[in-house]
Amino acid sequence: MLNIAVLVSGGGTNLQALIDAEKNGIIKSGKIVKVISSVEGAYALTRAKNADIPACVVSRKSFQSSEDYDSAILKELDDCGADLVILAGFMSILGEGLIAKYRNKIINVHPSLIPSFCGKGFYGLRVHQHALDYGVKVTGATVHFVNEIPDAGAIILQKSVEILDGDTPEILQKRVMEQAEWKILPEAAELFCAGRLTVTDNKVTIK
């Protein structure tokens, strides 16, 4: 049973999907042992409390440098013995030192089919607005390992979602979460914890 730490910044809908997946036996090879929020008062902290998961706040604005912030995050990860780190709506950029220490042990979910609509500046509703502006007929979500380049780590899972007439960024965001993010993020977490993922040359093989 591996220890999972989840990093959050907002409402925690993806965190809730992970909590539910653990409760329902979808995640059976790992356990969420800590939730770390970059924002004081984030509703994700309430979700953690309701699920009896230890939680803490490591606010980015409380630290003058990114190195000091990373050190604080690392301390929390080390204290809980994290084997897997999941970024679930985490809005701070992790530094190279932290990423290096947890190489191929940090996963993130992005609300598009990478390499479309990803990279620096593509987050939240902006991703869905770009998809609608571009006129694509299909979007989706991607779970990938985190490396030093935003959204450029090895892809673990992807799931497509149809774009419908009349979609707004908000409507599309909700559909992508419900049909893709909340399904493939727990699935990827279980694959990792079960030891079924191998990374070679920035490509993932699933055993």
Question: Any idea which residues carry the catalytic annotation?
Answer: 110
Q: How many CB atoms lie within 10 A of CB 149?
A: 9
Structure tokens at 136: 């694509």
Tell me what pLDDT residue 13 has.
97
Residue range 81-125, pLDDT digits in tens: 999 999 999 988 899 999 999 999 999 999 999 999 999 889 999
State the CATH class of domain 2-206.
alpha beta
When pLDDT is cut at 50, 70 and 90, the band that residue 61 belongs to is: confident
> Does residue 109 sit in helix, strand or coil?
strand
Residue range 124-168, pLDDT digits in tens: 999 999 999 999 999 999 999 999 999 999 999 999 999 999 999
SS (H, E, C) 132-149: HHHCCCEEEEEEEECCCC
CA-CA-CA-CA dihedral for 107, 112, 114, 120, to nearest 10: -80
CA-CA-CA-CA dihedral for 84, 90, 92, 96, to nearest 10: 20
Task: Give the pTM.
Answer: 0.96
Residue range 2-35, pLDDT digits in tens: 999 999 999 999 999 999 999 999 999 999 999 9
